[in-house]
Amino acid sequence: MLQHDCGHGSFFGKRRLDDWTGRVLGILTLTPYDYWRRAHNEHHASAGNLDERGVGDITTLTVSEYRNLTPRGQLGYRLYQNPFVMFGIGPAFLFLLKQRLPFGMMRSGALPWVSTMATNVAVTVLTALLIWSVGIIPFLLIHLPIVLIAGSAGVWLFYVQHQFEDTHWSRPPVWAFPYAAMHGASHYDLPRPLRWVSGNIGMHHIHHLSSRVPFYRLPEVLRDHPELADVGRISIRDSLACVKLVLWDEKRQRLISFREAKMA
């Protein structure tokens, strides 16, 4: 969350300090800061826009897009949306492999490459020092579970922030940033200890509406504007049902399951 707010220029409020803090934190999170920041800003600019999917998002197809896939393509999408893959294999692939190269930004100039390669070098040096200090077996037994558990938790949070039943997707000219930001992101109403651990990121609709509000001031916004509390609100219990919501139904304007799509 600290690196995330640095990417939005909201943690310190000074861009240079935010950027260099984010780059250092990227070594610990295995996330090249400048590469991630560019993708994440594209996600914020286009969230909820059906014509601008694909960068920094969970891949979500419409019902018609899914039906137009080949049987092999449908199987691939089902595997991608399987909870074991989405929250198990996926995070491991993302943090250990995918973020080692600037996938999706191979032709976007030097910065994504420099950011990724510099982070890789720093991660390699830090890893080598830790292995030299404690040994490879203790390192793997301690650090690998940390990466996998934290990665899965992070992907879960990102998933439920946008993949909930009453989320909003539309196409221009209907799509408008303020409405999509407020209604295309959830208010994941977590218990107070989990809010602290996750840096209040459950108040995601407020964050998308104004990403320059630092995470430590999001509760103030909710306090001063209590009418926002019920917008997109989901509890932990509600969120468990979100894993079955995998296709956007443009007719009913909501996310549905594979079973609902088949019955329709």
Tens of pLDDT, residues 209-234:
999 999 999 999 999 999 999 999 99
The residues, any chain, with a CB within 8 Å of residue 67's CB and separated by 6 or more, are 261
* Closest to 202 in 3D by CA, of 255, 146, 159: 159
Checking if the pLDDT of 109 tops 90, the result is no
Cis upstream peptide for 226 (omega within 30°): no
pLDDT of residue 51: 93
Tens of pLDDT, residues 178-209:
999 999 999 999 999 999 999 999 999 999 99
The CA–CA distances, whole Å, from 222 to 8, 149, 156, 163 equal: 20, 29, 23, 22
Residues of the domain holding 116: 2-263
Checking if the pLDDT of 55 tops 80, the result is no
Segment 125-131 mean pLDDT: 97
Q: How far apart are CA 213 and CA 219, in angstroms?
A: 10
CA torsion, points 78, 179, 250, 252, in degrees to nearest 10? 100
pLDDT of residue 85: 96
Segment 163-192 mean pLDDT: 94
Q: Is the dihedral of CA 193, 196, 198, 200 positive or negative?
A: positive
Number of domain units in the chain: 1
Checking if the pLDDT of 107 tops 80, the result is no
